Structure 1
Amino acid sequence: MTKFLVIEDAREVRLNLQEILESKDFEVIDAENGEQGIKRAQEELPDLIICDIMLPGLDGYDVLGELRKEPITSTIPFIFLTAKVDRDDQRLGMELGADDYITKPCTPTELLSAIATRMKKHTAYMESYDLEKKRAQALQKRVQELEKLSNSQEELLNKLCEELRNPTSNINLAIKMLNVANSEETRQRYLRVLQQECSREIAIINQFSQLLKILTPENAQLLSLLNSLNKSNQD
């Protein structure tokens, strides 16, 4: 079940949001201030966060900033729900990495529409990320298989270099496509995740290219370091 976190200090508003979301079969957890909201987000890892800006103690901007610092919460879709309508406030929220900004009071239709849009984009991003992660894992598995099957060390390196170079351009293309995100902060956040996966494959290519140049009977033992290198990249 999709889980939402609502961070709102006004009890009546919080309960109203919970009622709207639960009517659509969403699981809802809540927090009445910024500190509690950060803690619940880190513990529960919700699928989306709806947060007021004007909160006691840490305000909504502080909450967003703290959550964006941590990898485990950095990509959770984040929607500001607030009575503040100043354009500068909206710009600040988007620059900090908010995915949307809804002024209140808002209708259930407006709220649910904004949520649906954010969830759809986030789902598309996660599917792309999972695809690239599986591609990297498949390539690493193929590396191990070829190492076992090949009788020629030089032939093995040639095959691996050729096989690993081809997907690189496709991965970079997938990264560029994520630029449809609605803010620079969001784009950069998503790109950093995929860049990490891309860098693993590029690093392997570079290592094999260097090994091919210096391959001699004396340093053939370097091949045994291949699996260790791959494991280090995964960590």
Structure 2
Amino acid sequence: MSIIVLDNFPWKIDVEQLIEKYHIPRQGEDIERLKALAREAEIIGRPKALFKMSYVQDRGDDYVIVDGIKLTSRVLRINLDEKYRVFPYIVTCGTEIEQWSKTIKDFMESYWVDGMKEMALAEATRELYRRIEQDYHPGSVASMNPGSLEDWPIDQQTYLFRILGDPKQDIGVELTDSYLMVPIKSASGILFSDSKGFENCRMCSRENCPGRRAPYDPHLVESYKK
């Protein structure tokens, strides 16, 4: 299947959320500056997503072959058991807002803008899910991301990027030598149909994680080792 690029959809910054997150007084220069930056970010920012429908062609004890590329992870292999259609993807805040953010020199304002980039990434993620649901009707879905678990280390980003062609050309996302994505407010992974509510966080024992969406479940971890 061909690669699909999503780069022309509306997005908006939730100023109220930023006010609460950064404890900005509702009177004074700070809130006016925040609103001005938000307006500018909305004009400049162009969040993007890239994905394709791919097929699981083969699988072993701790790997799957997707579009001819080997992805090594026992957890991923188990999650894709009896599944043949998957959706590799990359989402990003976009190079436009990333470059603009570098012009913001004030320390506090740079924090605000970082929050705006997170909102751009979140909007790209929502658009990805919306488009996949609209066009492919996968039902309930879950996602796995290289580097989120020891079982699927971050160097597997290389193989995911190969499945997706040339993400740098298509949406401006590239990998560093340490397999991190640039722009940093980007995410990658594989979406798949899932009726069990799989969540990476349930298999990660890292404490005090600000992005945790579900509690660690050691029993679930053990179940994937059997």
TM-score range, shorter chain: under 0.3
Rg larger for? 1
TM-score calculated relative to the size of structure 1: 0.25
TM-score calculated relative to the size of structure 2: 0.26
Higher strand share: 2
Which structure has more relative contact order (CA 8 Å, sep 6+)? It is: 2
Higher helix share: 1
